[in-house]
Chain A
Amino acid sequence: MHADASSRAAFLRCCRIDGSVLRGVAAFLLCACASGAGAQLSGTLSAVSDYRYRGVTFSDRKPAAQAGLAYDDATGWYAGAFGSTVRLAPLGLPDSNLQGIVYAGYATRLSSGMSLEAGGDYSAFGGSSDINYGEVFVGGAIENLSARIYFSPRYFGQPTHAAYGEINATQPLSESVSLHLHAGLLRYRYDNPYGAMYGIEPFRNVIDGRIGLRADLDMVQLELAWVGVNNHAAAFLVTGRSSPNGVVASVSISF
């Protein structure tokens, strides 16, 4: 993910995040919660042994603490915020130790049982706002299967667009234990100035997968999963780390 210096500077000038986006979403959440007839507000607190984002470690394979808050309106509109500790060392940029994601969208359940949704999310990084980025997504779910496609015009602040598709499946194994499968494909344009000269394919694909066992104990969820990615240096320019395949454990409390 090389970034052309001038285009990156232009991008940073026009898109630098000063916290207004986060404040706006927080205000929306508070207003919505205050007025929502039939609305629901919920959250989670989690501890993970390694924070993997689309297969890539965001915590340098160290534990991370996470918190999430979600608001569901009775009409199908939803919004939320998520935060996690991270250990990112983007090349040429300050390190980052905190990630915040705000998101909003609309979901509806069809009479066939299928659910459809569309929305957007914005990811901001403390200490290194240059890699902030937003994306839009559409998705669908039916029974134990779901899929979603995301598009970002500036994935991790790079002057290239990227698309990510994912399929998730859940298979209950008992009343409280379930098997979770995930497969994702990230496709982004790699604008190498020497690409044409050396015949480098302008599009790159990164595949990630996850197989996990989850135990739901009322408000507590425990998960043990194997996470793999086909290119361990996939997001090296953002994370400054490699992401070897490995096992991840997590515990979450819903409230």
Chain B
Amino acid sequence: MTTHAAWRVLLVAALGALSFAGRAEGIDAVVEPQAAAREVLVMLRLPPPHFRPDGAYAGGYSSRSGSADRQRIAEDLAVRFKLRIKGSWPMPALGVDCFVMEAPETLPLEPLIERMSQDTRVESVQAVNLFRVLSHDDPLYPLQPTAALWHLDELHRVATGKNVRVASIDTGVELDHPDLNGRVLLARNFVDGRDAVVELHGTAVAGIIGARADNQVGIVGVAPGSQLMALRACWQVAGDQRAAVCSSFTLAKALQFAIDNNARVINLSLGGPRDRLLERLLAVAASRGAVIVAASDSRFADGGFPASFSGALAVAADDVQDAPEAVYLAPGRDIPTTLPGRRWGLVGGSSYAAAQVAGLVALLVDVAPDQTTGQIRESLNTSERPAASSRHRAIVDACAAVARTVGACACGCKLARGISPLLPH
């Protein structure tokens, strides 16, 4: 066979192969609340990578090997249990491929999950839970900027969160906002296929964590030197831009991405019911050194999930009266931040309290990169207790936390500058 003929054969083979590509499943991830109630997440085991000589090069690893068989198993499960496959996503952090399947309205979910969990091909199965972002929906918070309580200007002489990767798993972020332009290292949309989705909650949270400093406009993020990852896993509810929801599936995809990209801090300003899949992913993230900051959800006695996750730093706004004991309290009212449409405004709620703590954790990691979550938790523990409820762990004192971490005075300590190598003269 001549070389020319060989290339022709290859081309024909390629075209033939492409005709099969139409089978590609869509990432049909937008989950409306009504639909989510009918969906289950089915996890199929993802074998660890190993020697497999087929393909273009003998001896290479292939990340996709076996995906066709898992697709076949999923299709077989869908037929057997009368489900419809809506999408899938590999989650190597857990060693699974996750399939979203929709059950007909006539099929009760709990017995279905029970039956599916007994199928030996299924690694695990669960219902899709919905989570909501935790912001006040009252637009009339008129008071002073809360960032001043933390003496940010002084803290930023010690640390800015430089090069600390902070993943904000939230709604879409206005990437070209004057205070965020160039501040987002990575942006991904795990909800749908659209680019550059701009939404309120995600934009506000991103600004609080990492808005640009010294640009003569707007605000200063708590960690303006951090590397932001804007991971869209939640979406605004139609007709109410302050309300947003997320699903187990979209959150799991975002968490997998955060793990893959070595996020050092993961902020989850959202809450909902306990979720086994997300719990497993958070455990993997924590085991690889990520500090997880989660907003406490007052709808749940334990703060909801992921705040109730044992490895998370749970945060509530300091005006919340009934937060669980383990929850940290941070400023939660009148927080100036970035808003869609190149605007700024005041926001409030546990979502934003958590975002501030996520920024603070980035500062602590900046000054002591090898800190564990336990050590950061210790740094955040202060003697100050909220007057209204002394059972809470602490009101977060940013200056004290940084001072504990660096072992020197961080705020209001001009006299100490001569003895602190970390402070500018």
Interface residues of A (CB under 8 A from B): 37-38, 40-44, 46-49, 52-54, 62-63, 66-68, 70, 72, 74, 76, 78, 80, 82, 101, 103, 105, 107-109, 111-113, 115, 117, 119, 121, 137, 139, 141, 143, 146, 148, 150, 166, 168, 170, 180, 182, 184, 210, 212, 214, 216-223, 225, 248-255
Bound-complex Cα distance A46 to B56 (A): 8
Flag if A253 contacts B260 (CB, 8 Å).
Answer: no
Flag if B47 contacts A78 (CB, 8 Å).
Answer: yes
What residues of chain A lie closer than 8 Å to B68, measured between beta carbons? 42-43, 219, 254-255
Flag if B51 contacts A251 (CB, 8 Å).
Answer: no
Q: Point out the residue from A168, A184, A251 that lies within 8 Å of B13, measured CB to CB.
A: A251
B180 → A minimal CB distance (Å): 24
A242 → B minimal CB distance (Å): 16
Flag if B54 contacts A40 (CB, 8 Å).
Answer: no
Flag if B9 contacts A103 (CB, 8 Å).
Answer: no
B96 → A minimal CB distance (Å): 11
What residues of chain B lie closer than 8 Å to A101, measured between beta carbons? 53, 58
The prevalent SS among residues of A at the interface is strand
User: Does B288 make an interface contact (CB < 8 A)?
Assistant: yes
* Given known A121-B53, A250-B56, contact A221–B64 (CB-CB < 8 A): yes
What residues of chain B lie closer than 8 Å to A37, measured between beta carbons? 120-121
Flag if B52 contacts A70 (CB, 8 Å).
Answer: yes
Flag if A141 contacts B49 (CB, 8 Å).
Answer: yes
* Given known A48-B56, A63-B10, contact A74–B45 (CB-CB < 8 A): yes
Find the A residue at minimum CB distance from B262.
A143
Flag if A107 contacts B13 (CB, 8 Å).
Answer: no
What residues of chain B lie closer than 8 Å to A249, measured between beta carbons? 7, 10
Find the B residue at minimum CB distance from A252.
B55
B95 → A minimal CB distance (Å): 5
What residues of chain B lie closer than 8 Å to A107, measured between beta carbons? 47-50
Flag if A253 contacts B20 (CB, 8 Å).
Answer: yes
Bound-complex Cα distance A137 to B52 (A): 12
For the complex with contacts A78-B47, A113-B259, 14 further pairs of A-B residues with Cβ separation under 8 Å are: A41-B69, A42-B66, A48-B56, A62-B1, A66-B54, A68-B52, A80-B53, A107-B47, A115-B50, A182-B60, A212-B57, A214-B56, A219-B23, A253-B17
Flag if A54 contacts B45 (CB, 8 Å).
Answer: no
Flag if A42 contacts B60 (CB, 8 Å).
Answer: no
Find the A residue at minimum CB distance from B53.
A82
B124 → A minimal CB distance (Å): 12
What residues of chain A lie closer than 8 Å to B17, measured between beta carbons? 220, 222, 251-253
User: Does B73 make an interface contact (CB < 8 A)?
Assistant: yes
Q: Point out the residue from B6, B48, B73, B92 that lies within 8 Å of A62, measured CB to CB.
A: B6
Flag if A182 contacts B57 (CB, 8 Å).
Answer: yes
Bound-complex Cα distance A121 to B51 (A): 9
User: Does B67 make an interface contact (CB < 8 A)?
Assistant: yes
Find the B residue at minimum CB distance from A140.
B49
Flag if B55 contacts A108 (CB, 8 Å).
Answer: no
What residues of chain A lie closer than 8 Å to B67, measured between beta carbons? 42, 219, 254
- A-B pair number, CB within 8 angstroms: 174
B110 → A minimal CB distance (Å): 23
| Sample of 9 A–B contacts (CB below 8 Å) | A37-B120, A38-B121, A43-B68, A78-B47, A105-B50, A141-B48, A150-B59, A249-B7, A252-B55
User: Does B81 make an interface contact (CB < 8 A)?
Assistant: no
Q: Point out the residue from B10, B24, B61, B64 that lies within 8 Å of A146, measured CB to CB.
A: B61
Q: Point out the residue from B23, B56, B120, B288 that lies within 8 Å of A252, measured CB to CB.
A: B56
Bound-complex Cα distance A44 to B54 (A): 7
Bound-complex Cα distance A20 to B341 (A): 72
Bound-complex Cα distance A148 to B120 (A): 32
Bound-complex Cα distance A47 to B55 (A): 9
Flag if A54 contacts B58 (CB, 8 Å).
Answer: yes
Flag if A40 contacts B69 (CB, 8 Å).
Answer: yes
Find the A residue at minimum CB distance from B283.
A111
Find the B residue at minimum CB distance from A40.
B69
Find the B residue at minimum CB distance from A169.
B61
User: Does B144 make an interface contact (CB < 8 A)?
Assistant: no
What residues of chain B lie closer than 8 Å to A121, measured between beta carbons? 51, 53
Flag if B58 contacts A53 (CB, 8 Å).
Answer: yes
B319 → A minimal CB distance (Å): 40
B7 → A minimal CB distance (Å): 7
Flag if B121 contacts A117 (CB, 8 Å).
Answer: no
A107 → B minimal CB distance (Å): 4
A234 → B minimal CB distance (Å): 15
What residues of chain B lie closer than 8 Å to A111, measured between beta carbons? 284, 287
Flag if B70 contacts A40 (CB, 8 Å).
Answer: yes
What residues of chain B lie closer than 8 Å to A216, measured between beta carbons? 64
Flag if A47 contacts B47 (CB, 8 Å).
Answer: no
Flag if B52 contacts A47 (CB, 8 Å).
Answer: no
* 259-311 of chain B: CB within 8 A of chain A: 259-260, 284, 287-288
Flag if B61 contacts A168 (CB, 8 Å).
Answer: yes
* 372-397 of chain B: CB within 8 A of chain A: none
Flag if B56 contacts A225 (CB, 8 Å).
Answer: yes
Flag if B10 contacts A49 (CB, 8 Å).
Answer: yes
User: Does B14 make an interface contact (CB < 8 A)?
Assistant: yes
What residues of chain B lie closer than 8 Å to A253, measured between beta carbons? 17, 20
What residues of chain B lie closer than 8 Å to A222, measured between beta carbons? 14, 17
Bound-complex Cα distance A44 to B284 (A): 32
What residues of chain B lie closer than 8 Å to A62, measured between beta carbons? 1, 6
B264 → A minimal CB distance (Å): 16
Flag if B20 contacts A166 (CB, 8 Å).
Answer: no
What residues of chain B lie closer than 8 Å to A54, measured between beta carbons? 58-59
Bound-complex Cα distance A105 to B45 (A): 18
What residues of chain A lie closer than 8 Å to B287, measured between beta carbons? 111-112
Flag if B9 contacts A119 (CB, 8 Å).
Answer: no
